[in-house]
Structure 1
Amino acid sequence: MRKEMNSLQLQQLPRYQVMMDFPHVQGRRWVVLEEDYLAVARQRDRLLDEVEALLRDGVRLDAVQVNCWDVRFISRAGMDDAAISIEVVGHYAAPPVERVVGENYSGDLRAAIDQARAADVDPPERPKFEGHGRPLARHS
């Protein structure tokens, strides 16, 4: 007696059984070989990582828009063209009206925006950051 299997049942079977049953299935059926399944799983993982990165970038762009930050790319005279620093500048009513809320000296825009997102709401003129991009605590 031949038993028809749905896609969920096929997914739950060990791959070699699916491959063995393939010649015995009448009509057209979707069958995933183990190699194809592994390739699709790797591609799915890459796409999920890419979607997560794009979502994080969306959060960063939203922060720039909501806070009306300026992003400034600075190339110092006499330095290599690859040596570009980035400053994220916030605008405030009290002096100083422009304050650097995030910065990165290796040209990493994402790191500069992440610093700005982690900065105080009302930062000093230029906040201090530790090596990992987190703001240093103020001592009062």
Structure 2
Amino acid sequence: MSDWRAVTSHAEPHRTPTDSVLESCTLQALAEELDDSAPAISFLSTYLSMLPGRILRISTGLCLHDADASMDAVLSLRISSAMVGAVETENRCRAIETMIREHHFDSAVLALPALQNSTDRWFVAGPQLLVKAHESLRQGPGH
């Protein structure tokens, strides 16, 4: 069985996006790296607002079996998800990335709903995420 099948076939615990951001401290690390929380919050806000468009780009590329467009879209979502601590979304992108590399477009299309569910949870939780990120970054590490 390919790695991507193992990633997409097991049930993952359902954590809320809010828990993921707060537990991972990824956004905190980004803010520290930039020496300012404002760009980190702005990045999170931009990430959230772009989720529907990114899913559409991935879906379109996969349905057209366009490896370049699909890969560009999935890599963009995977990398930005990693930067905000969206671990489930990042992992689902990684699995679809593997499918694209192996030219398993039909499998990637079948894996797309799980990715969309993950990004939908982030999008819906967006206002809460931004408030919690503001609070967390204002308090600083260890609070």
Regarding TM over 0.5, the answer is no
TM-score by length of 2: 0.23
Which structure is higher in RCO with an 8 Å CA cutoff and minimum separation 6?
2
Kindly name which structure, 1 or 2, has the bigger radius of gyration based on alpha carbons. Answer: 1
Q: Which has the higher strand share?
A: 1
Q: Which has the higher helix share?
A: 2
